[in-house]
Structure 1
Amino acid sequence: MSKRACIPFAPVTQLAATFLLLLAPLVGCGSNSSSGTETGSARAAGDVSPAVLQWQHNMLVFGSRHCSRETIQTQQTWEGGVWYYDGARAFYQIADYSGDRRWEECARYVIEMYRSYVLENQGQVPGWRVFPHGLLEHYRRTGDERSRDAVLLLAQGSAFAASSGGPDSALSRETAYIINAYLAAQELGAPGLELPLETAVSYALGHIRAWIDGTAASAKPFMIGLTLEALINLHGRTGDPRVPDAVRSALNWLWDTGHLAAGHTFPFILCREGVRSEECRTLQDSPAPDLNLLIAPAFAWLHFVSGDEESAVRGDRVFEGGVFGADLSAGKRFTQNYRWSFDYLRWRAGITSFVQQPGAAANVQLARPSMSGR
C-alpha cells in the first residue's frame, strides 16, 4: 500500500508542531517508515471528517497559544481568560486525547491560579465561576489535598451551594454548575457531607419545562447546553431515568425554535414574543457559533444512548458550525469549545474513553451536510 497524503497543517508554535506529530495517527499522517503502510489507527485523510481534522488542528494551535503561565497569572480571574469554563479540565482532556502528558503542565498553570482563588475565598465565589472538574482531575492525578479541599469548598460555599441554584430559569447556569460541584464532591466521598442534589436536579428539569412551555421570558442556547451537560453527568453517575427524555425534549425544542440553517448555529438568546429586554432587542438575531460546542455534545450523547439518527445528524451540523465558525483567539472562547467537545467525539465514536482507546476519533464519520438545512 502506498503512503497516503497527509492533511497540511500550519502550527503557529513548535509546541503545536510537536503535538501534531503525536496525533498523526488520528489524522491520516502516520506511516510505517520501512513499508510505507499505515500504522495503528491511521486512516486516509479523505476518510476523516474535515470538521474533526479542523477541531484537532484548532486544539493544538490555540491550545498551545493559551498555555501561558505568565498570561494566566497576570490575568488572574479576568473572565476572558482560559481558566473560565474550566481551562484545567480542557487541558487535561487534551493530554488524554493526544497521549502527551506535557499538556498536564498547562492544566497545572490554571490550577495554580484558580485553586488559590477558591481557597483564599473559602469557596465563596460567584455561581458562574464554579469549575470543579479540573480540580477533581488534578486531585485524581496528583493526590494534592488542596485540590480536593477546593472541590468541597465549591460544593458547600459557593454562591448557590446552599440554595441548590434556583427555580427561576434565569439561574439555569448556576444551577447546572452546582449540580456538577455536588457530583464532584460526592465522588470524593467526603464523610458526613450532605448535599441537596435532588433539589438542584428538580430545578434544572423545571428550567427545561419553562423553556419549552414558554413560561420563561427567554432562553440562552448555550445555557441550555450547560444544563444538559450537568444532567448527562448526573445520568452517568446515577442512571437517573428522567434524564434521556429531558435531554430529548430540550434538544427538539431548541432545534425547532432556534436552529439557524445558515452556519448551523443558534442565536445568543431566544426571547418570548413581546419581551423587550436589552439582550432580546440586540442579540436575538445574532448567531453565536462560538457557543456551538457547548451544545453539540448533548446531541451526540442522545444518539449514543438511544440510537436516534436524527440526533446524530443534528449534532454533526452543530459541531461543524462551531468548528468552522468559532473565533478561538481569546482564552475563554477556546475553553468554551473544548470544555466537553471531547465527549462529543467519544459518543460519536461509540467509546467511553480516549485513554483506553487512543486514536478512536479517526473512526468518527459525521453525517453528510443536508442541503435543506435540517
Structure 2
Amino acid sequence: MFRRLLCAAQLLTVFLSAGGAGASDVVPIPALTQWESNMTTFGRQHAAYLAAHKDDADIDGLVGGVAYYDSARVYLQIAAYTNDAAWKEAVADSIHVYRDRFVIASRHDIAGHLNFSDGLLMHFKQAKDPLSRDTILAMAKLRWMREENIIPTDSCESSRETAYAIKTILNAQALGFPKGKRLETLVTTAIGHYDQWFVAKSATYVRPFMAGLTAEALIDYHAVSHDPRILPTIKLGMDWLWANMWVPSAGAFRYTNVVTKEGGIEPTADLNLLVAPAFAWLYLQTGDPVYRDRGDQIFAGGVAGAYLTAHKQFNQNYRWSFDYVAWRQQKPVKEKKAPAVPVAQPAQPPAVPAIDATPYREALQQALQVIGKGLAVRMTLPVMGAATDVDVVGADAHGVIARVSGNDLPVRWKDVADADLAQLSYLAAKSDKAVLTNAWHLASITRMLDLRTQIGGRLLAIDPEAFRELAK
C-alpha cells in the first residue's frame, strides 16, 4: 500500500509540473482544480475541528466521525500532495485519536468496519514511529485477520470487513508479518462477493461504494501478487455498475439498486470517489479509453456533488482519490482495448422522483422559533460565508442566532442547509416527536444516513409503534 502511494506522489510531481515528461500526452482530468481547492479548504476546517476535539470523552464519536475512513491516511496524502508540512499536525492528531485512544486502548481488538491500517503504515514509513508498526502487527492477529475466524462466504454482508482485513494483512506483511493462508482465503471471499453482486445475483442488494472498497483491497493485493483473477473481476463489477446504477443527469451512482431500510435508489455523489479509482486502474491496465472517460465523469460528479462539510464524507472523498489522480496521469500498460466481458444487464431502475423538502423545512423552522431562546446547540454553520463552529442560541422568523466568540450573529434560514437544519433540530428537539419526525424526513432526503439512524433511535425510544410505521 505505502509503496503504491509513494509511487503515486512521485508521479504527481512529474505529471502535474509544467513541462513534465509526457504531460502533454495525458488527457486533462476534469474538475482537478476544484478537487485540489476543496481538499485544502475543507481539509483545514476538519483538521481544526480534530485539533480542538481530539481529547473529547466520546472516543467512539471521534472514530466514527472526524477520524472515520482513516483520517491519518487522508492527511498524510494531502501533506505529500501539497508538500506542506503544516498538515503534519492533523496527521499527529489523527494518530492520537485512532491509534492511541482507540486501537491501543481496545487492546487492538476492534470492529471490522473500523479496521484502518493504511494511515498507520504510512505514518510508520514517514515518521519512523515503531508504535504505528507494532499496532498494525497486533491488529493483524485479531478479529477478521485470525486464521481460525470463519468468514461467512455465502453472504456479501461482510464485504467491507473482508476488504479492510485484506488491507491490514497486506500492510502487516509489508512489515514482516508471516504469510499464511488467511490472506488468500479473504481474497477468494472478496472475489466471491463480486460473484454474488454481479454474476449469481444472489445478494439482496448492491451498493457501488461497497464494491469500490472491495476493488481497492483487490487492487492492493494485485500489486503484490499479480493474481490473474483480479482484473476480470473488477472489470466485470465496474461494467455492471456503470450499466445499471450510473445516473448521468445526477453525475452519481445510485446508493443502492433496490430500496432498503438503510437507503434507496437515489443518486449519492458523496460516494463517487470511493469507486472512481477502480475505473482509472482499469484504464491503466487495459488501455481502453472507455474506462478513462467513465472514470472522469464519476470523478467530476463526485467533486461537484459531494457534501464535504461533514467529517465522514470528506474522508470518504479523499481516502482513495489520490490514486485516481495518479493513475490518470500515467500511460496505460496496454494501448489496446481489453476484450469485452458479457454482463447481464437487468432493467434500469425507475427514475427517482424528487422529494420536496420544503414542508419539513418550514415545520422545523417554526418549531425552532418556538423553542427560541431555549436553544443551546453546538454545531458548524456558515457564518459570513465560511463554515464555523458556533453555539446556536436562538431562532426567529429570519433565521438562527449563532454565537461566535461572544458575539451573536444572524444566519438566515436560506443559508442553513437541509442537512444542517436536520441536525440542529435533532440536537434541539430532545423528546419532541413531531420535530424529530420532520428531522428524520429531512435527513432521509439529504442522505444523512448516520443522522437519520440517530434520530430513528430516539423516536424508537419515544414511540416504537409510530417509528415502525415511519420506517416502513
**Which letter maps to 1:113?**
V
Tell me how far 1:141 sits from its aligned partner: 1.4
Matched, 1:347 2:324: no
**Counterpart position of 1:132:** 117
- 1:84 matched to 2:65: no
**2:257 equivalent to 1:270:** yes
* 2:240 pairs with 1:239: no
Instruction: Give the letter for the 1:235 counterpart.
Output: H
CA deviation string 1:268-321 (max 9, x = no partner):
1123xxxx7423xxx322211000000000000000111011111111110011
Residue 118 (str. 1) matches residue 100 (str. 2): no
Higher strand share: 2
1:211 and 2:197 matched: yes
The alignment status of 1:202 with 2:188, answered yes or no, reads: yes
On the 8 A contact 1:132/1:181 being kept in 2, the answer is yes
**d(CA) in 2 for partners of 1:65, 1:146:** 28
1:304-356 deviation digits (Å, cap 9, x = unpaired):
1110111111111100110000010011111100001000000100079xxxx
Offset at 1:194?
3.7
Change (3 A) 1:27 1:194: closer
Displacement of 1:241 in angstroms is 1.4
2:307 to 277, 302, 327: 327
Aligned residue for 1:183?
170
Distance 2:19 2:193 in 1: 48
Residues 1:246 and 1:48: Cα distance change in structure 2 (over 3 Å): closer
5+ residue gaps, structure 2 = 1-11, 333-472
User: 1:138·1:147 contact (CA, 8 Å) conserved in 2?
Assistant: yes
Decide whether the 8 Å contact of 2:29 with 2:296 is kept in 1.
no
SS of residue in 2 equivalent to 1:225: helix
Residue 64 of structure 1 corresponds to 44
SS at 1:73's partner residue? Answer: coil
Per-residue CA deviations over 1:92-119 (Å, capped at 9, x if unaligned) read: 1111111122212211110011112111
Q: Map 1:26-65 onto structure 2 (within 5 A).
A: 49=29, 51-65=31-45
Larger RCO: Structure 1 or Structure 2 (Cα < 8 Å, ≥ 6 residues apart)?
1
Structure number, greater radius of gyration:
2
1:27-70 CA-to-partner distances (Å, cap 9, x unmatched) read 99xxxxxxxxx7989x9xxx965510100000010111111322
The aligned runs of 1:223-234 (5 Å cut-off) are 223-234=210-221
CA offset digits 1:204-244 (Å, max 9, x no partner): 00000110121111111100000000000001122111111
Secondary structure at the aligned position of 1:156 is classed as: coil
TM-score of the superposed pair, with normalisation by structure 2:
0.61
Paired residue for 2:466? none
TM-score, normalised relative to structure 1: 0.77
- What is the alpha-carbon distance in structure 2 between the residues aligned to residue 295 and residue 140 of structure 1? 27
Conserved? CA contact 2:234–2:278, under 8 Å: yes
Deviation at 1:81, TM superposition (A): 2.1
Instruction: Give the C-alpha shift of residue 258 in structure 1.
Output: 0.7
Find 2:131's aligned residue among 140, 146, 149: 146
- Structure 1 residues 247 and 193, CA, compared in 2 at 3 Å: closer, same or farther? closer
**Percent of aligned positions with the same letter in both sequences?**
39
1:73 aligns with 2:55: yes
Number of equivalences = 310
| 1:102 partner SS | helix
Structure 2 counterpart of 1:365: none
CA RMSD after TM alignment: 2.7
State the distance in 1 between where 2:44 and 2:34 align: 15
Separation of aligned partners in 1, 2:95 and 2:77: 14
Distance in structure 2 (CA, Å) of the matches to 1:209 and 1:49: 32
Q: CA 1:228–1:26 in 2, change beyond 3 Å: closer, same or farther?
A: closer
1:173 aligned partner, one-letter code:
R
Aligned to 2:444: none
